[in-house]
Amino acid sequence: MGYSAVVLAAGEGKRLRPLTTHRPKPMLPAATKPILEHVFDALIDAGVTDITVVVGYRRTRVQSEFGPSYRDVPLTYVTQGKQLGSGHALLAAEQAVEGSTLVVNGDQLIDSRIIRDVVEAHDGESTAATLGLVRRADVTRYGGVLLEDGEVTEIVENPRDDRSYRLNAGVYAFEPAIFEAIRESEPRAGEQSLVDGIDTLLEDGTRVQGVVSEGTWIDATYPWDLLRIADDLLEAGEGRRIADSASVHESATVIEPVVIDDDCVVGPGAVVGPNVCLGENATVGSNVTLERSVVDTDTRVDNGATVRDCVTGRGVEIGPNSTVVGGPGDVEIGDRIHRETSLGAVLADHVRDEGGVTYEPGSVVGNGAVCHVGATVGGTLSAETEVWG
Amino acid sequence: MCGIIGYVGTDRSDAADVLLHGLSQLEYRGYDSAGIALADGRLDVHKREGELSALEDALAGADIGGQTTGIGHTRWSTHGPPSDRNAHPHTDADGRVAVVHNGIIENYQTLRDELAAEGVDFRSDTDTEVVPHLIAGFLEEGLDDEAAFRAAIERLEGSYAVAAVFEGSETVYAARNESPLVLGVADDGTYLASDVPAFIEYTDRVIYLEDGEFARLEGDEIAVTDAEGRTVETSIETIEWDPEDAGKSGYDHYMRKEINEQPAALRDCLRGRLDELSGRVTLEGFEDLELRRPVTLVACGTSYHAALFGVQLLREWGVPAQAFLASEFEADAVPIDTDSVVVGVTQSGETADTLRALREASAAGATTVAVTNVVGSSAARETDRVLYIRAGPEISVAATKTFASQQAALTMLAASLSDHRSRELVRELRSVPDRIQSVLDEDAAREVAATYADASAYFFIGRGYNYPVALEGALKMKEITYKHAEGFAAGELKHGPLALVTEQTPVFAIVTGDGRRAEKTIGNVKEVEARGTPVVAVTDGQSEVGRYADHVLEVPPAGEITSSMVANVQLQRVAYWTAHELGRSIDKPRNLAKSVTVE
């Protein structure tokens, strides 16, 4: 179909801290691939032939990962200098696009069905915008959209009432009128949101339609959602594989479903799986037990460790005979406590433990923290903290 | 050192566009003047001093278009200053033939004197101009285009990749000797160029021309012949890398893109070559290499710094080894015989000095090895064994990711040749991509660069593995900032260079580990600090060097071998941001070209 797409990938994703210290949310792993890579796949599978990526927060991570093209589709990068909302982000791409344009969030998992549904439904002659929508029981954390005969009547952010909302999946087809509408909309708290731009279109009496899709839509709000996303992807059969360049010792046991990426090493006697994702160049030592975990690139789990329900950042070292006990546990994020969360631990980039460390359920350990031999870790630790046994 | 391109189209008639696009892809080979010749009945030559944009501007006003055939050239001066008249293509007096050339014609003075005696007027200072005049002479004698071209080439001594077009013809003739030349085959025509990126957009099917061979390009056919005129059977190879790799992907400069690509480049370099459990390094094709004499590495520039690092490791692991500058290899009179192993380290695989040294070694019966980035390059094809560093295309003139990949590849080569097995080493190597990423995630180098952008000179000191890094740090700084910069073995400072050190000359000290070497280097740092000179420590924090430094650039700790690779990235970034502060032409520094294909 030869559509052009704009992917919004400039935001940090603050609620996913501490995993987003060095990279934006779109670069967090869904199974072993960045969320953004899944979004690109969905776009290209739907026939998109040209992609503009709006980058901002930690943009070099995106540019270095994907370079000038992905699956032979050229990528053009435009920079949003300050992250002042999704509408502001789209304005950064204005010069790079012309005519009808697909716009998608780069930090939520979607499949190609939603994109196809939106493209098929969109008729630029009669409609300035077409929104991709999904049915969800709870839309309170997202954009709720009210439809009448396929036409959008109202968009409400974080709706609290019980009208029958559809969830805004962050997949749009826009006519160029959207740019003016974003500029006209009043910034709120200094930010220009895409939804306010759409609101402006509605207020001006412009037709905006919505199309309800059966396609996949998954968002990660908190770090432990990466476990759920991995579960969903593995269940769907996506990404299940052991890379040719990975080396799995003959005496190791791999319990499907798992995905083991390039250059990984799994040592003798290790038991890996089910529901384990090993990112590029990860190392699992001998006699490690590893279950339901997302282990990111360059991370090492040393000999004899037991790790369950764990999300790691990059370059983490879990020492010999350490134990991530596994969920459920209570997790503190900011001033909120998330009770009975199915999380063993979140270990951010370059957390290093020296061995024999025990992580209580729901632990969140900040970047570069060091856990000395025999320490017991619980609750939330900030970056560069040291914990003694 | 220049870049050439040629094109003969079948049904398309936009030869000028194809040539200009090709030249833009070859600009990394030189860029002080550029030109094209279009053949359409008469020959139409356009050339300009300066970057390619100057030629494009000149063409914008010219009446061109509709031609199917042409040749083009981007120049980096070897004979005569950059100017319109020294720019290629060169023609004979009557404009019957136009010629582009890359390389050096060693007997050009003899030929020129001879032609001048016959009354030929030379319009340029170049060695190349003898070629069209020679061809014209043979045409006068009644030879046809092809025979005249061959007869002229036979008169040349030296290195050349030459292409010529003739008035009233839609054929391009080419010949090669010791300069790179590759042919491209597509449905819409045939191509030739110094390097594949020139035409990769149009075709990925290529034929590599060998030394001493001639090619005749028609729109739908390429005929390759040897020096005697016999037809040569050629095989068409398919280029597998992605032409889009040549894009800047959102960065201002290729150099920054390439610095940031290092973690990925190193993963590719290391892939499939390490075994974590046994600590072994396996390099395909090197298992049975016998070492009876010291292993000899030859290289130039950045590659030479990598070679210095490589020989340190070989010697440390028990294999006698030595490194030579390729341009001094002959003069150094290194004893080479059939028992010798000579390793040429060259990113492009086309570095003339290194190729010359490898050819000498080969002629003496040595086993030759190329450590290179470019598949199908002259070095790769002419040596007995090849170790690819797998860094991917590097466009910026200043080498960055290829240095890191050379260091990693040479570490593996040293481990393999010495049968050095170490789980520690394998583990360390596998941690390099992540440690480099950590360096890339921080901004400290940029702050240091801003602080010292107006310094009068920069000095770099290091010991052991960090000595080649000090040399490389200084080379990067010179290349892209045009500022005076020198690297020294830390202990040498007090034997002379210390006299240069002032408050205006920051000293970068690369100090890793906490052993004897680190301690001694800290001693050298104190000597500098005592003279009020700003000190920037590039360190893994294992030693106390930070206490004597004004700034610290951090290197995530691990073993010393790989820390030197990671430390180098900090220095690349300091050079980049300094050049940025100074507004330099970072990807194309003045007077330099990417691969130096002249001796």
The 3-class SS string of chain A reads: CCCEEEEEECCCCHHHCCCCCCCCHHHCEECCEEHHHHHHHHHHHCCCCEEEEEEECEHHHHHHHHCCEECCEEEEEEECCCCCCHHHHHHHCHHHCCCCEEEEECCEEECHHHHHHHHHHCCCCCCCEEEEEECCCCCCCCEEEEEECCEEEEEEECCCCCCCCEEEEEEEEECCHHHHHHHHCCCECCECCHHHHHHHHHHCCCCEEEEECCCCEEECCCCCHHHHHHHHHHHCCCCCEECCCCEECCCCEECCCEEECCCCEECCCCEECCCEEECCCCEECCCCEEECEEECCCCEECCCCEEECEEECCCCEECCCCEECCCCEEEEECCEEEEEECCCEEECCCCEECCCCEECCCEEECCCCEECCCCEECCEECCCCEECC
Question: What mean pLDDT do residues A137-148 have?
Answer: 88
Cα gap A116→A171, rounded to integer Å: 10
Residue B244: predicted pLDDT: 43
Amino acid at A107: D
The CA radius of gyration of chain A, in Å to the nearest whole number, is 22
Residue B26: predicted pLDDT: 80
User: Inter-chain contact A283–B270, Cβ cutoff 8 Å?
Assistant: no
B210 DSSP assignment:
P
Closest by CA to B502, choosing from B552, B452, B551, is B452
Distance of CA A281 to the CA centre of its chain: 21
The CATH label, of 3.90.550.10, 3.40.50.10470, 3.30.70.1230, 3.60.21.10, for the domain at A4-219 is 3.90.550.10
Residue ranges of domains in chain B = 3-244, 247-440, 442-599
**For B267, which of A63, A267, A281 is closest by C-beta distance?**
A281
C-beta separation of B525 from B462 below 8 A: no
A243 φ, ψ (degrees, to nearest 5): -65, 150
Residues of chain A with CATH 2.160.10.10: 240-387
Residue A138: predicted pLDDT: 86
Q: Write out chain B residues lying below 8 Å of A65, CB-based.
A: 264
Structure tokens at B252: 């201002």
pLDDT band of residue B77 (cuts 50, 70, 90) is low
Out of B257, B476, B588, B594, the active site residue is B594
Question: What mean pLDDT do residues B106-117 have?
Answer: 92
pLDDT digits (tens, 9 = 90+) for B278-292: 999 999 889 888 888
Residue B80 scores a pLDDT above 60 = yes
pLDDT band of residue A383 (cuts 50, 70, 90) is very high
Residue B250 scores a pLDDT above 70 = yes
Residue A2: predicted pLDDT: 62
Q: Tell the residue number behind the tokens 């007077």, with chain if given.
A: B591
Cα gap A74→A51, rounded to integer Å: 6
Residue B236: predicted pLDDT: 87
Residue B74 scores a pLDDT above 70 = yes
Structure tokens at B278: 């046994």
Maximum Cα–Cα distance for chain B, whole Å? 80
Q: Write out chain A residues lying below 8 Å of B275, CB-based.
A: 247
Residue A340: predicted pLDDT: 85
Residue B78 scores a pLDDT above 70 = no
- The CA-atom distances, in angstroms, between B294 and each of A376, B309, B321, B362, B384 are 54, 15, 5, 16, 17
**Does residue B89 have a cis bond before it (omega within 30 degrees)?**
yes
Q: In 10 A of CB A274, how many CB atoms?
A: 13
Question: What mean pLDDT do residues B143-160 have?
Answer: 93
User: Inter-chain contact B244–A79, Cβ cutoff 8 Å?
Assistant: no
Amino acid at B347: Q
Structure tokens at A153: 């009547």
By CB neighbour count within 10 A (0-12 exposed, 13-18 middle, 19+ buried), where does A49 fall? Answer: middle
Residues near B328 by Cβ (< 8 Å), separated by ≥ 6?
none
Q: Write out chain A residues lying below 8 Å of B273, CB-based.
A: none
User: Inter-chain contact B277–A68, Cβ cutoff 8 Å?
Assistant: no
User: Inter-chain contact A68–B247, Cβ cutoff 8 Å?
Assistant: yes
**Interface pTM (ipTM) of the complex?**
0.89
Closest by CA to B559, choosing from B454, B484, B488, B466, is B466
- Chain A nearest-CA distance from B543, in A, is 19
pLDDT digits (tens, 9 = 90+) for B510-561: 999 999 999 999 999 998 988 899 999 999 999 999 999 999 999 999 889 9
Residue B419: predicted pLDDT: 92
Sheet of strand A283-284, all strands in order from the earlier edge strand to the far edge: A247-248, A265-266, A283-284, A300-301, A317-318, A352-353, A370-371, A386-387
Across A64-78, B274-288, B406-420, which has the greatest mean pLDDT? B406-420
Across A85-94, A135-144, A243-252, which has the greatest mean pLDDT? A243-252
Residue A239: predicted pLDDT: 66
Active site residue B269: no
The per-residue pLDDT of chain A, averaged, comes to 91
pLDDT band of residue B245 (cuts 50, 70, 90) is very low
Least confident of A201-210, B539-548, B584-593: B584-593
The CATH superfamily assigned to A240-387 is Hexapeptide repeat proteins (2.160.10.10)
| Residues of A engaging B, defined by a Cβ cutoff of 8 Å | 22, 53, 55, 58-60, 63-69, 72, 74-79, 245, 247, 249, 262-263, 265, 267-268, 280-281, 283, 297-298, 314-315, 350
Q: Write out chain B residues lying below 8 Å of A59, CB-based.
A: 250
Residue A314 scores a pLDDT above 90 = yes
How is domain B247-440 classified at the CATH fold level?
Rossmann fold (3.40.50)
Looking at domain B442-599, its CATH architecture is 3-Layer(aba) Sandwich (3.40)
Same fold, B247-440 and B442-599: yes
Cα gap B22→B30, rounded to integer Å: 13
B554 φ, ψ (degrees, to nearest 5): -85, 145
pLDDT digits (tens, 9 = 90+) for B348-394: 898 999 999 999 999 999 999 999 998 778 898 899 999 999 998 88
The CA radius of gyration of chain B, in Å to the nearest whole number, is 25
Active site residue B2: yes
CA dihedral A30, A36, A37, A41 (to 10 degrees): 110
User: Inter-chain contact B271–A298, Cβ cutoff 8 Å?
Assistant: no
Higher pLDDT, A195 or B249: A195
Residue B502 scores a pLDDT above 70 = yes
Residues of chain A with CATH 3.90.550.10: 4-219
C-beta separation of A122 from A130 below 8 A: yes
Residues near B138 by Cβ (< 8 Å), separated by ≥ 6?
B147, B148, B151, B152
**Is B3-244 assigned to CATH 1.20.120.1200?**
no
Out of B2, B47, B257, B269, the active site residue is B2
Amino acid at B470: A
Residue A337: predicted pLDDT: 86
The angle, 0 to 180 degrees and rounded to 10, between the axes of the packed helices B401-417 and B560-582 is 160
Distance of CA B105 to the CA centre of its chain: 21
User: Inter-chain contact B249–A77, Cβ cutoff 8 Å?
Assistant: yes
Question: What mean pLDDT do residues B109-129 have?
Answer: 91
By CA distance, what is B262's nearest residue in A? A64
Least confident of A93-97, B169-173, B360-364: A93-97
Question: What mean pLDDT do residues A345-354 have?
Answer: 96
Cα gap A35→A230, rounded to integer Å: 11
Q: Tell the residue number behind the tokens 């200009």, with chain if given.
A: B20
Higher pLDDT, B175 or B3: B175
Cα gap A239→B463, rounded to integer Å: 46
Higher pLDDT, B313 or B1: B313
Residue A1 scores a pLDDT above 50 = no
- Chain B nearest-CA distance from A163, in A, is 44
Maximum Cα–Cα distance for chain A, whole Å? 68
**Does residue A257 have a cis bond before it (omega within 30 degrees)?**
yes
Residue B575: predicted pLDDT: 96
* DSSP code string of B446-486: HHHHHHTTT-SEEEEEE-TTHHHHHHHHHHHHHHHH--EEE
Structure tokens at B352: 């003339």
pLDDT band of residue B114 (cuts 50, 70, 90) is very high
Residues near B492 by Cβ (< 8 Å), separated by ≥ 6?
none
Least confident of A167-176, A329-338, B462-471, B487-496: A329-338
**For A69, which of B242, B264, B276 is closest by C-beta distance?**
B242
For residue B385, the cross-strand partners are B369
User: Inter-chain contact B434–A297, Cβ cutoff 8 Å?
Assistant: yes
Q: Rounded to 5, what percent of chain B is helix, strand, coil?
A: 35, 25, 40
Q: In 10 A of CB A269, how many CB atoms?
A: 16
> Which of A60, A72, A75, A78 would best serve as a mutation to test chain B binding (most B beta carbons within 10 A)?
A60
User: Inter-chain contact B244–A69, Cβ cutoff 8 Å?
Assistant: yes
Q: Which H, E and C letters describe B93-125, residue by residue? A: CCCCEEEEEEEEECCHHHHHHHHHHCCCCCCCC
Q: Write out chain A residues lying below 8 Å of B272, CB-based.
A: 245
For chain B, give the percent of residues with pLDDT over 90: 62
Residue A124 scores a pLDDT above 70 = yes
Question: What mean pLDDT do residues A64-72 have?
Answer: 86
Least confident of A303-312, B199-208, B209-218, B431-440: B199-208
